[in-house]
Amino acid sequence: MKTLTTTLAALATAALATLPAMAQEKWDLPMAYSASNFHSVTGAEFAQCVTTGTGGAIEITTHPSGSLFAGADIKRAVQTEQVPIGERLLSGHQNESAIFGWDSVPFLVSSFDQHEKLYEVAKPYLEELLAEQNLTLLYSVPWPPQGLYFNKEVNSVADMEGIKFRSYNNATARLAELTGMLPVQIEAAEISQAFATGVAESMVSSGATGYDRKVWESLSHFYEVDAWLPRNYMLINSDVWADVSEANKNIINACAGMAEYAGTWRAKEYTGFTLAGLAAGGMTVAPAGDTLMAELKAIGETMTAEWLEAAGETGKNIVDAYNAQ
């Protein structure tokens, strides 16, 4: 990882000699997750790469943990140029368009390699949708596969009845409904408090989120179900992007490419590390039992059919193209 960070810095510094003198711009970059989360670490490195690479012509300051804008407000803040740039989990906006939820279709993919192929298919459709909203995609990094957290042993869907379940997008809210749980919308920055106070008792998320928030202080079980791999996206306002010089665009794109590579590497490495961390914290970490997995996959089939109906021809094109590979 040190090599990747060094490469980012070297790449940025190498571009300095080609840049003309220009006025300095200061960009605030809001992010929803804690500073220690691997997405935020990657975003901070990207910001430093751009700042260094442009010779300070564009200085980016990151604001993790929803400290500048809450996670749900980041996308809108970038669209309306309240900030020029921001990082967001786009599946949190699936209510705007089902296409934003392409990465949260249950059990369509369950590994990083499968997910990368699906992303390559979905990306052009996603970029077209973002362009309509005055947004440009710079880079995107996946989360580790999503598992289920509980404060008790769960062996079947019947065991979930009535549990208060943290939701963060349409897919998680629908999963709660179909399993008899009670969905409660909670942003990442509020997770620890929600579990500590009993506002929520369960969630579907990666080992990374649980580890960062020390959920073992409130929860007891993590079940590996590999339901899906959502993605975070670094977005820039398209009007702001249009005003960036070609030289600086090249630097930003180079920094973005390195950030996507580094972030994806971290996601893969972090998967095993964080699951071990949950276990070290005292949680039971194990694959879900056969009965629970069979019931969850049946629910996944229902959710997939619903997503395809909502996503229309575009959704069908994405899934068909992925299955044809």
Which domain CATH number covers 254? 3.40.190.170
Residues 152 and 265 in one domain: no
Question: What three-state secondary structure class fits 305?
Answer: helix
Q: Where are the beta strands (DSSP E) in 154-275?
A: 164-167, 182-185, 202-205, 221-224, 231-237
Chain mean position to CA 257: 17
Residue 304 within a domain: yes
Q: What 8-state DSSP symbol labels residue 135?
A: E
Mutual orientation of helices 112-132 and 246-280 as an angle, nearest 10°?
140
Exposure pattern of 12-37 as b/e (b: 16+ CB <10 Å)?
beebeeebeeeeebebbbbbbbbeeb
pLDDT at 12 exceeding the cut of 70: no
pLDDT in tens, 51-93: 999 999 999 999 999 999 999 999 999 999 999 999 999 999 9
- The reply to whether 134 and 54 lie within a common domain is yes
Rounded to whole angstroms, the Cα distance separating 140 from 117 reads 14
What would the pLDDT profile of 93-116 be if each residue is shown by its tens digit? 999 999 999 999 999 999 999 999
Does 151 share its domain with 249? Answer: no
pTM metric for this prediction? 0.89
- The answer to whether residue 277 sits within a structural domain is no
Contact (CB, 8 A) for 26 and 232: no
Q: Are residues 189 and 68 in the same domain?
A: no
The model's pLDDT over 172-230, given as tens digits with 9 standing for 90+, comes to 999 999 999 999 999 888 999 999 999 999 999 999 999 999 999 999 999 999 999 99
Name residues whose C-beta falls within 8 Å of residue 17's C-beta, 6 or more positions apart in sequence. Answer: none
Same domain? For 161 and 131 the reply is no
Q: What share of the chain is helix, strand, coil (3-state, %, to 5)?
A: 55, 15, 25
The pLDDT of residue 62 is: 98
Q: Based on the fold, state whether residues 310 and 299 are members of the same structural domain.
A: yes
d(CA 190, CA 195): 9
Does 16 have pLDDT greater than 50? no
- Who wins on pLDDT, 44 or 10? 44
Indicate if 218 and 244 belong to the same structural domain: no
The alpha carbon of 107 is separated from its chain's Cα centroid by a whole number of angstroms, namely 17
Q: Please tell me whether residues 317 and 210 are part of one structural domain.
A: yes
pLDDT cut 70: percent of the chain above it: 93
* 292 shares a domain with 151: yes
Q: Is residue 129 part of a domain?
A: yes
Contact between residue 48 and residue 4 where contact means Cβ atoms under 8 Å apart: no
Number of domains in the chain: 2
Which distant-in-sequence residues (6+ apart) come within 8 Å of 50 by Cβ? 12, 58, 60, 251, 252, 255
Given a cut of 70, whether residue 15 has pLDDT beyond it is no
pLDDT in tens, 20-63: 445 689 999 999 999 999 999 999 999 999 999 999 999 999 99
Query: What band does 11 get if pLDDT is binned at 50, 70 and 90?
Result: low
Residues 131 and 265 in one domain: yes
Residues for the chain: how many in total?
325
- Between 313 and 270, whose confidence is greater? 313
Spatial contact of 172 and 206, defined as CB atoms under 8 Å apart: no
Same-domain check for residues 112 and 219: no
Apex 70 CA angle, 45 and 98, nearest 5: 90
3-state secondary structure of 224: strand
How far CA 87 is from CA of 63, 100, 108, 218, 261, in Å, comes to 10, 14, 25, 28, 16
Q: Are residues 203 and 286 in the same domain?
A: yes
Q: Note whether residue 248 is domain-resident.
A: yes
Q: Containing domain of residue 97, as a range?
A: 2-143+230-272
- Per-residue pLDDT at 188: 85
